[in-house]
Every structure is written in structure tokens, then in C-alpha cells.
């Protein structure tokens, strides 16, 4: 069985390539390397001892996709390709609508041409907007609070329409909470370009001296220590969730959303302290004002993923910090 992985050279994509190869599938990756490196794929091959097929192409390019589908017998697709920086999406919304929605429409049209009807899509907890209560369950109301989130919401709607028009499709909408961590080999991990937007890569870059101190955005939230709380999930657990979703897609039809998280919240200071313990390196910090748009806390109910997919997270915050540290220590400049 052959799985096409769009955006497979990226952070979550590369870890998913490892798990999908280890599960015995053939892997074909399409990525334009706009936010990733070819080295990640070489390292996937090193970790697994298996080869994958790589096409450097833009997913919006339907001719390039037709070539990939003609040259390979694709059975299912995992679709990661897209942009993900919330702040940039506010400044440059069209760039996000063009790329994130453009990739999806192009991909679905070529899948249609080749009769491939199984897709696993990278959605996000951001589709819950400002949730009324915790934990967040899949049937809670959806809304968007920034253009990035709106692209995820629209793509979910496009995929629901695709299923409604043809019930032969299998569509898994995986709503990730906060993916962090790295492969335990230390060979692949998160390698953001420029100054990181997200908390964990910021902490790990302070640890290796690329940044001087952590800026904690607000200490007056309604949480145990006043700093924001999120449901961090180890990227390897997340990647294994994609294997379960692919197995589901091979045995079911439907369009179903699944939360992938741990069900537990961790505050900024708890994550910083866990990282200090795991690395033995001090992380100096300053308290800054709140970042606009941030919420007190967010955590998932993952009961549906457990009961329907047979998946649950197994790695804890200490594992996430230990593995991130190993990756960042051995690759202080990421893949650069
Ligand atoms: P990433 O940027 O590391 O990976 C995305 C990959 O897609 C990159 O390799 C990039 O080069 C590629 N890409 C982008 N546009 C493309 C195009 N037009 N054609 C071909 N390739 C293209 O990001 P990630 O953290 O691995 O996220 C993967 C997916 O998961 C994204 O869709 C993201 O929105 C979603 N997601 C991420 C998070 C998170 O916090 N990391 C949370 C929820 C959802
Ligand atoms: C986590 C906590 C910050 C950076 C984002 C997207 C979301 C999803 C995951 C894709 C918050 C605090 C952060 C820093 C800090 N992505 N923080 N100092 O905002 O929960 O989610 O990534 O779908 O859509 O919005 O993650 O890592 O940015 O922040 O204090 O330098 O860390 O205030 O409480 P967030 P994050």
C-alpha cells in the first residue's frame, strides 16, 4: 500500500513518514521545501532503514500532482502541506488562503481524477475558536479567530462537502493540540525558520544560546501559576495517530473529526521547569504582557480517538522535553 504524504519534509510530516514506513506502507512525499529541508527525509531513511520517494513540487500545481499519481499507485493521502504561522496569517491573509486552501482544492481534484478517496487532514485545535468549556470535545461549536484558523475551518468544510457529494470517501480530520518533542534518535525535530513563534522551539533555542531569554506572555491568567496552559502532545504520539487514522480510512467510509492531544494542560512555567530538569540547562525568563488572542487554557478530550481509532498518547511532558533537548543539542541550528 502506498501513502502520499504532502508536506512530508516538515516537522510533523517527517515524524509521520517514520511511523508510516515502520507500519509497512510505501511512502511518497511531495513538498516544495518552503518551510523544510531535504535533510529531514534523508534522516527519515536513516532512522527507518527504508527508502521513500520524494517529489519537490508545489501541491497547488495540478500537473505536478498528476505526474505523481501517474507514476505511483497511491492508495491514500496524508495532507500536511500548508502554512501555519498565526501572526503572519493576520498580516498576509491572502498568502494563507492561496496556499492552504489552494493546496487542498488542487489535491482533491487530482485525487478525484485518479479515484483515490482516502485522506487524513492536518486540522487544528484552533477550529474551536474560543471554547466555552474544557475539555474540548469534537462536537463543540467551531469558529475561527484568525485567518490561519479560518483556512483550517474552510478546509474542514470543503472536505465535508466532498464526502456529502460522494459517500465513498474516507476523510479523517485530525485536530492537533500543541505538538512538540522530537524523534528519540535526535535526528529529526522542529527547525523553524527565523525567530520561533511557538513556546517549545523558543525554549530550546534559549537552551543552546541562540536566544537570550524566554519571554513569558502574561502571568495573570486563570491557571495554577498564572501562565497560559496548553495540551502539549509528543510529535511521535501524534505521528502514530496518523497510522491509526490511515487504518481507519482503509476500513471505513465517512468524514470524522478526532482530537489528538493528551487531555492534560501544562502551563508555560511548568513546561519551562520540566525543560530545565530534562536538559540540566537554565532557561532565564522575563514576564511580558499577554500576547493578543491567547486564552487561559486549552485541553482536549481524546475519548473519541481512543474509542474509534484505538489511539491514545503515551509520552509525557518529561519525554517531550528530553527528546526536544536531544534534537536541539545535537542540531543547534536545526537542519541549517
Ligand atoms: P511545517 O511547516 O514543518 O510542515 C509543512 C510542510 O508543508 C513544510 O515541509 C512545507 O515546506 C510544506 N509546504 C507548505 N506549502 C506547500 C506547498 N504549497 N506545496 C508543497 N509543500 C508545501 O509544519 P508542521 O508543524 O509540520 O505542520 C504540518 C501541518 O499540521 C500544517 O498543515 C499545520 O497547519 C498543521 N498543524 C500544525 C500544528 C503545529 O503546532 N505544528 C498544529 C496544528 C496543525
Ligand atoms: C503556547 C503558550 C503562549 C511563546 C499555536 C497556534 C495553534 C496551533 C499550535 C497550528 C501560550 C505562551 C508562547 C513564547 C510564551 N498551531 N508563549 N512565550 O498559541 O497555544 O497555539 O500553535 O494549528 O493554532 O495558535 O501555541 O506555542 O504559541 O503558545 O509565553 O515565546 O505559550 O502565550 O500560553 P498556541 P504557542
Residues 177, 232: Cα–Cα separation, whole Å: 7
330 in any annotated domain:
no
Q: How many domains are contained in the chain?
A: 1
Report the residue among 5, 6, 12, 242 best suited for mutation to probe ligand 1: largest number of ligand atoms under 8 A from its CB: 12
Per-residue DSSP letter, 304: H
227 in any annotated domain:
no
* H/E segment holding residue 48: helix 38-48
Predicted pLDDT at 242: 99
Predicted pLDDT at 35: 97
- If phi > 0 it is left, if psi is from -120 to 50 it is alpha, else beta; for residue 231 that is beta
Task: Flag residues of the chain having pLDDT under 50.
Answer: none
Q: Is the dihedral of CA 166, 148, 192, 61 positive or negative?
A: positive
First-to-last C-alpha distance (Å) of the chain: 33
CA 197 to ligand 2: nearest atom: 28
315 in any annotated domain:
no
Cell numbers describing residue 35? 518551510
Indicate which ligand has the atom closest to the C-alpha of 29: 1
CA 271 to ligand 2: nearest atom: 32
At residue 55, the 3 state secondary structure works out as strand
174 in any annotated domain:
yes
267 in any annotated domain:
no
Cβ–ligand 1 contact at 32 (below 6 Å): yes
26: domain range?
Answer: 2-181+233-261
* H/E segment holding residue 288: strand 285-288
Predicted pLDDT at 98: 98
Report the interhelical angle of 235-251 vs 11-22 (nearest 10°): 60
CATH number at residue 59: 3.40.50.720
Residue tagged 527508502 (cell numbers)? 51
69 in any annotated domain:
yes
Which residues does 129 contact at the CB level (< 8 Å), separation at least 6?
A: 141, 142, 143, 144, 145, 149
Residue 336's CB: how many other CB atoms inside 10 A?
9
Indicate which ligand has the atom closest to the C-alpha of 122: 1
- Ligand 2 centroid to residue 166 C-alpha, Å: 37
Is 335 catalytic? The answer is no
Residues 83, 100: Cα–Cα separation, whole Å: 6
Cβ–ligand 2 contact at 217 (below 6 Å): yes
From the list 235, 234, 255, the residue with the least C-alpha distance to 245 is 255
Cβ–ligand 1 contact at 12 (below 6 Å): yes
Longest dimension (CA), the chain: 56
190 in any annotated domain:
no
> Taking the model in full, what pTM does it have?
0.99
Concatenating the DSSP letter of every residue in 264-327 gives --EEHHHHHHHHHHHH-----EEEEPPPTT--SB--B--HHIIIII-------HHHHHHHHHHH
Task: Tell me which of 25, 96, 128, 148 is the catalytic residue.
Answer: 148
| Cβ 154 vs Cβ 208: under 8 Å | no
165 in any annotated domain:
yes
Indicate which ligand has the atom closest to the C-alpha of 11: 1
Cβ–ligand 1 contact at 241 (below 6 Å): no
Concatenating the DSSP letter of every residue in 133-160 gives SSSB-TTS--B-SSHHHHHHHHHHHHHH
Amino acid at each position: 500500500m502506498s501513502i502520499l504524504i504532502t508536506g512530508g519534509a516538515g516537522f510533523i510530516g517527517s515524524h509521520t513518514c517514520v511511523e508510516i514506513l515502520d507500519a509497512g506502507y510505501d511512502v511518497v512525499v511531495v513538498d516544495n521545501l518552503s518551510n523544510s529541508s531535504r535533510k529531514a527525509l534523508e534522516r527519515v531513511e536513516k532512522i527507518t532503514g527504508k527508502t521513500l520517494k520524494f517529489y519537490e513540487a508545489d501541491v497547488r500545481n495540478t500537473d505536478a500532482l498528476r505526474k505523481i499519481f501517474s507514476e505511483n499507485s497511491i492508495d491514500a493521502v496524508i495532507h500536511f502541506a500548508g502554512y501555519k504561522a498565526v501572526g503572519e496569517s493576520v498580516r498576509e491573509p491572502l498568502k494563507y488562503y492561496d496556499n492552504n486552501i489552494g493546496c487542498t482544492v488542487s489535491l482533491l481534484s487530482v485525487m478525484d481524477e485518479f479515484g483515490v478517496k482516502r485522506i487524513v487532514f492536518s486540522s487544528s485545535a484552533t477550529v474551536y475558536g474560543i471554547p466555552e468549556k474544557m475539555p474540548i470535545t469534537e462536537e463543540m461549536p467551531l469558529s475561527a479567530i484568525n485567518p490561519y484558523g479560518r483556512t483550517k475551518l474552510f478546509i474542514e468544510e470543503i472536505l465535508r462537502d466532498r464526502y456529502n457529494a460522494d459517500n465513498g470517501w474516507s476523510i479523517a480530520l485530525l485536530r492537533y493540540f500543541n505538538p512538540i518533542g522530537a524523534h528519540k534518535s535526535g535526528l529529526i525535530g522542529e527547525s523553524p525558520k527565523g525567530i520561533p513563534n511557538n513556546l517549545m522551539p523558543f525554549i530550546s533555542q534559549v537552551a543552546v544560546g541562540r536566544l537570550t531569554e524566554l519571554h513569558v506572555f502574561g502571568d495573570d491568567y486563570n491557571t495554577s501559576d498564572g501562565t497560559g496552559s496548553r495540551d502539549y502532545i509528543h510529535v511521535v504520539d501524534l505521528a502514530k495517530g496518523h497510522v491509526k487514522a490511515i487504518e481507519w480510512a482503509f476500513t471505513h467510509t465517512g468524514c470524522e473529526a478526532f482530537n489528538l492531544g493528551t487531555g492534560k494542560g501544562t502551563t508555560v512555567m511548568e513546561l519551562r521547569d520540566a525543560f530545565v530538569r530534562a536538559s540540566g540547562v537554565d532557561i532565564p525568563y522575563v514576564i511580558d504582557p499577554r500576547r493578543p488572542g491567547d486564552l487561559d487554557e486549552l485541553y482536549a478530550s481524546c475519548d473519541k480517538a481512543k474509542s474509534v481509532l484505538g489511539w491514545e498518547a503515551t509520552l509525557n511532558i518529561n519525554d517531550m522535553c528530553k527528546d526536544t533537548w536531544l534534537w536541539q543539542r545535537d542540531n543547534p541550528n536545526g537542519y541549517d
